[in-house]
Amino acid sequence: MQPLAALDRSEALALRGLLFDLDDTFIDEGKITEAAYSSLFRLREAGLELYIVTGRPLGWVRLFSRVFPIDGGIAENGGALVQHGQLLDVLSSAERKNRRARLEELVLNMRETFPDIEPVRDPSERVSDFTFDIGEEATIDPARVREAARFARERGATVFVSSVHLHVGFDPVDKASGAVALLQKLHGLDATEALARYAFIGDSENDAACFAAFRTSIAVSNLRGRPTLKPRFVTRGARSAGFAEMARTLGALRASAE
């Protein structure tokens, strides 16, 4: 990985927008800082579209897309696409119902097998997955998390592990495919253009697909997990300080051409 300072002006100017993770990237240990929030306005002033890309539930992204200066978002690790606070579901109601039934059976089996791993407090706000708390309010041993993840995968589930959550579901998606699908729906962009014209910033294992897919990929310095392909750039600062650093860097590079 290169320091973010190595990002050149031509690459910054070619960007159409920014996709960003929430937990431990934009949100700092559960809180939104003034520096991170104000950075959204600086990024908009720099001419960039903004999209949340998170494992958090649909309800979170619907709210944020209404009250934040952003253009939409991807919730549930790609399972839910949001524009102007509205869900853009790619599935029919019948197929969504079928997947929910499969998921309910899996969750029942997981709770029986792993009673020490508790669900998050907001499972009803989700449409495509179910989420367990492994690091937000509870602290679960990583070996136990891997065991639970393997249990779900062996039963055909899609599994994501973030810095705070274990997500299971039956939508064959990830953050990158969800982001590309949203950009195609909103702007008619093909995958090649979407992956070249938008930057992504994140911190965790469930960001691995975006680190591998997007040309301008950035990690805050608290990057954790083992992504298959590391992001190209890394900030000096951690969490929201790193996010604000990224915003200042993009803003300065894009302003220098004026």
Q: What is the pLDDT of residue 224?
A: 85
Is the confidence at residue 125, as pLDDT, over 70? Answer: yes
**In the chain, pLDDT over 90 holds for what percent of residues?**
83
Q: What is the pLDDT of residue 121?
A: 83
Is the confidence at residue 257, as pLDDT, over 60? Answer: no
Q: What is the pLDDT of residue 206?
A: 86
Residue 28: pLDDT band (50, 70, 90) is: very high
Is the confidence at residue 124, as pLDDT, over 90? Answer: no
Return the amino acid letter for 46: A
**Among 6-15, 17-26, 82-91, where is mean pLDDT lowest?**
82-91
Q: What is the pLDDT of residue 85?
A: 84
Report pLDDT digits (tens) over 94-118.
Answer: 999 999 999 999 999 999 999 999 9
Report pLDDT digits (tens) over 175-184.
Answer: 999 999 999 9
Report pLDDT digits (tens) over 208-252.
Answer: 999 999 999 999 999 987 767 889 999 999 999 999 999 999 999
Q: What is the pLDDT of residue 163?
A: 82
- The encoded tokens of residue 101 equal 């039934």
**Among 90-94, 202-206, 231-235, where is mean pLDDT lowest?**
90-94
47 near 13, Cβ under 8 Å? no
Q: What is the pLDDT of residue 90?
A: 77
Nearest to residue 136, comparing CAs of 114, 118, 152, 158?
A: 118
Q: What is the pLDDT of residue 147?
A: 97
Q: What is the mean pLDDT of residues 38-59?
A: 96
Is the confidence at residue 14, as pLDDT, over 70? Answer: yes
pTM recorded for the entire structure: 0.89
Q: What is the set of domains in the chain, with CATH numbers?
A: 2-89+174-255 (3.40.50.1000), 93-169 (3.90.1070)
